[in-house]
């Protein structure tokens, strides 16, 4: 995804940009509302701080929504129900109260993208040896054969394939793929991992790293 982060606090802006880039996104930054108005049309999604100084954040959100359907995630220190209602009515697709973690922000970006059906520019397919994952078509192919996977199985495999050399902890995977739904149990994760191994007919397609979590299987991907 091509993301635009609108934030006038330098430290917060840089932290969000780094985190979103780690999750595989292309990220542009705007340090003011006026700069955001010049750049948002080139983005697939806007992360907008409503607390910027030069323009009213709600008005900026309304301006973006009035001209296009680009998803907007609003961030604000104000967390009351009336404030959230105002943000959503101004056109935001999601509203996050500060302080918020970068992992949650990345998960919200993915959730809003799925919910709104936003499509990034260009081919985002991931090819890794015998595995190919197409996020736009939500298709998984193994040895050129189409694999029938569930929504969560796709999200899990896509996450691992997005950084094939990275070991993802159980907590990271549950946060990224399941968000708040099943965070209290790890058996759900194990079930989905085992199901993917079975469907790919390769027990090494996803490697268990004891005491940590899982990574994509490098050896089997090129066998």
What pLDDT shows up at residue 218?
A: 63
Question: Based on the number of CB atoms within 10 Å of its own CB, is 118 exposed (0-12), middle (13-18) or buried (19 or more)?
Answer: middle
- The pLDDT averaged over each successive group of 10 residues in the chain (223 residues) is 91 91 88 90 91 92 88 91 92 90 90 76 71 83 90 89 88 76 68 93 89 80 44
In this prediction, residue 89 carries a pLDDT of 93
pLDDT of the residue at 128: 84
Taking the model in full, what pTM does it have?
Answer: 0.54
Question: Nearest Cα to 110, choosing from 184, 195, 173, 194?
Answer: 173
**Pair of tokens at residue 153:** 């199985």
53 class by beta-carbon count within 10 Å (0-12 exposed, 13-18 middle, 19+ buried): exposed
> 134 in helix, strand or coil?
strand
The C-alpha atoms of residue 211 and residue 200 are separated, in whole angstroms, by 24
Q: Is 40 exposed, middle or buried (0-12, 13-18, 19+ CB in 10 A)?
A: buried
CA 88, 90, 91: angle at the middle one, nearest 5? 70
Residue 109 pLDDT: 93
């Amino acid at each position: 995804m091509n993301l635009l982060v609108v934030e006038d606090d330098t430290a917060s802006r840089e932290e969000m940009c780094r985190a979103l880039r780690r999750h595989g996104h292309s990220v542009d930054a705007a340090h003011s509302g006026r700069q955001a108005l010049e750049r948002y049309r080139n983005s697939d999604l806007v992360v907008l701080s409503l607390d910027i100084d030069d323009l009213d954040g709600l008005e900026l959100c309304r301006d973006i929504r009035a001209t296009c359907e680009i998803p907007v995630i609003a961030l604000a220190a104000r967390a009351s129900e009336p404030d959230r209602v105002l943000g959503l009515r101004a056109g935001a697709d999601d509203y996050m109260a500060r302080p918020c973690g970068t992992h949650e922000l990345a998960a919200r970006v993915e959730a809003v993208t799925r919910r709104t059906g936003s499509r990034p520019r260009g081919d985002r397919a991931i090819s890794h040896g015998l595995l190919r994952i197409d996020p736009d078509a939500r298709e998984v192919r193994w040895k050129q054969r189409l694999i029938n996977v569930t929504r969560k199985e796709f999200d899990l495999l896509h996450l691992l394939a997005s950084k094939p050399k990275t070991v993802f902890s159980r907590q990271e995977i549950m946060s990224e793929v399941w968000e708040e739904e099943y965070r209290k149990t790890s058996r759900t994760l194990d079930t989905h991992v085992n199901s993917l191994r079975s469907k790919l007919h390769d027990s090494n397609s996803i490697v268990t790293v004891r005491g940590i979590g899982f990574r994509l299987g490098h050896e089997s991907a090129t066998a």
